[in-house]
Amino acid sequence: MNELGEQVGQVIVSGLAAGSTYALLALALVIVLKATNVPNFAQAEMGLIPAFITWELMNSWHFNYAEAVLCGLASGVVIAVVAERLFIRPILAHSENATVMMTLGLFFTFNGFSGLMWDSEPRTIASPFSGYFHLAGTVVTYEELVAIGVGLVSVIVLSWFFRTNVGAQMRALAEDRTTPRLVGVRPNRVFLISWAIAGVLSAVALLLATQATVLNDQSGVSILLYGFVAATLGGFTSLVGAFVGGLALGVMTNLAGFYVSTSGADAVALIIVFIVLMLRPRGLFGESLVREI
């Protein structure tokens, strides 16, 4: 029984670490949605290219881990800002549906670029966070601890950020594109900042996810699905909800794989999410939206 408890503990810790990466991508999705009211289907692919750049710098240019990661995160900001400036902003004011289709187009463009540049060969990003320790009989690796810690710090910082003036402007623009302009809000600046932040979060999410598994041109596809599910589970309007939703999804998926079947883990976890949303359509932390009729 004690051995079973240790195994379950290990499964939960691994689920929290995986869930933290889902949560980071969910946070990026929520930030873009809060600012522009558009779901970004290219969000994971925008983080995948920085992960490849980090790998390239470490293996071809012999950068150390910290230097390569910083350059990778910077490239995430550049990719996000360029995408917003050149492809999203020109059509956002005309049609939100066309903007959603544009994010789908960016998804295929970035995915195709990754496959063309780095093909499908699995790669690994060497992490300096090797080793482990025991916590209540459960083995916890430093990589898992870092993944959980980064997710927790991110949601705390972002929760504070959305209480600042710029964060309030993001929320205001998501609800009404016209009125905030009358009081001096600059939408283009706000959109640019939100996409830049989302670009960093996506890069961090993919770096952590691919360190725990492998890096290839399909690494962003699965985490994108989990990111959307986590954001939906959290209500798609709440940063805390996205974080909790990601952690819950990671733990549910791992427990389903442990108790039921590894091959059916995703299906079992998504069924649980479906049940939760049936009971709470707005998600666990969803906010009620009041509209005039």
pLDDT at site 259: 85
pLDDT at site 84: 93
How would residue 288 be classed by pLDDT, with cut points 50, 70 and 90?
Answer: low
**257 touches 273 (CB < 8 A):** no
DSSP readout, 66-108? HHHHHHHHHHHHHHHHHHIIIIIHHHHTT-HHHHHHHHHHHHH
How would residue 243 be classed by pLDDT, with cut points 50, 70 and 90?
Answer: very high
pLDDT at site 203: 97
CA 160, CA 72: separation in Å to the nearest integer? 25
What is residue 27's DSSP assignment?
H
Q: Is the pLDDT of residue 202 over 60?
A: yes
> What are residue 134's DSSP bridge partners?
139
pLDDT at site 166: 83
How would residue 71 be classed by pLDDT, with cut points 50, 70 and 90?
Answer: very high
CA 148, CA 156: separation in Å to the nearest integer? 13
pLDDT at site 286: 67
How would residue 292 be classed by pLDDT, with cut points 50, 70 and 90?
Answer: very low
Mean confidence (pLDDT) of the chain:
87
**215 touches 202 (CB < 8 A):** no
Q: Is the pLDDT of residue 290 over 60?
A: no
DSSP readout, 122-145? -B----S---EEEETTEEEEHHHH
Q: Is the pLDDT of residue 287 over 70?
A: no
Structure token digits, residue 118: 């780095």
**111 touches 117 (CB < 8 A):** no
DSSP readout, 219-235? HHHHHHHHHHHHHHHHT
**252 touches 274 (CB < 8 A):** no
Nearest to 250, CA basis, from 4, 12, 9, 87: 12
**176 touches 182 (CB < 8 A):** no
pLDDT at site 88: 92
What is residue 254's DSSP assignment?
H
Structure token digits, residue 41: 């289907």
Residues 6+ apart with CB under 8 A from 45: 106, 107, 110, 111, 114, 220, 224
Nearest to 39, CA basis, from 214, 258, 242, 248: 242
Backbone angles phi, psi at 141, to 5 degrees: -85, 155
- Side chain identity at residue 208, one-letter code: L
CA 107, CA 246: separation in Å to the nearest integer? 22
